[in-house]
Amino acid sequence: MSSAPGSGHLSADIVTRARELIGLYPHPRSALIPICHLAQEQDGWLSPEAIDEIAALVGLTPAEVLGTASFYEMLHTEPVGTYVISVCTNIACMLRGAYELLDHIQDTLDVRAGATTADGMFTLEEAECIADCGRAPCLAVNHRFVGDVTPQSFDSLVDGLRAGTMSDDIPRHGTLVRVRRQGGLRVDDATIRAERETAAAKATGGA
């Protein structure tokens, strides 16, 4: 059974923003993916508590929310580190030393691909082509791209992340964008209500 929206885990600000998102769509469930990203912004991943509250907000079951979220690479249904490092080992990067780079990263961070460092700072994963082949070998940290990576430049990157000097370029995991959208698909409540009534009438054969 899902929790009542705003029943505790998600912050009041996140719940308010989620309700604003729901207002942009004809059906609450259509806002599911953006709300998952919003919730992930709070914890860096989608905890069971967050999934329960999202389900209540959009009128789905927690199993339906989990089933959808687990399909998408960018949504995490298990805890991840503050920084998720995705190392591309596809063909262009492989030919330019991706596996040697991955070995270096595993040794440096003392973690294998697919796992998180003991201090919870870094999750390391091997990725398919991240569409930055011209700068192979490359990686992404929290979906921000870093190209022409060498062992030395990787070490500098990690030093910067640990020291907190790179937060302008690479925020903690879960922050997809830092600019909040204004307007866009926003439609007034009366229009949405009318569209819902028409859709409901059609579904019951009344129109």
Binding residues (CB under 6 A) for ligand FES: these are 88, 90-93, 129-133, 136, 138
Q: Which is nearer to ligand FES, 34 or 151 (CB)?
A: 151
Query: Cβ closer to ligand FES: 5 or 97?
Result: 97
Q: How far is the CB of 129 from ligand FES (least distance, A)?
A: 3
- Pick between residue 33 and residue 129 the one whose CB is nearest to ligand FES: 129
In angstroms, what is the minimal distance from the CB of 143 to ligand FES?
14
**CA dist., res. 120 & res. 182, Å (int):** 34
Interatomic CA distance for residues 64 and 67, integer angstroms? 5
Cα separation values, 84 from 27, 124, 129, 142, 155, Å = 33, 6, 16, 5, 15
Contact 163, 148 (CB under 8 A): no
Nearer to ligand FES, 110 or 148 (CB): 148
> Which C-beta is closer to ligand FES: that of 69 or that of 105?
105
Q: How far apart are CA 127 and CA 202, in angstroms?
A: 45
Look up residue 55 and give its amino acid: A
Nearest-approach distance from CB 74 to ligand FES, in angstroms: 17
Q: Say if residues 41 and 172 touch (Cβ distance below 8 Å).
A: no
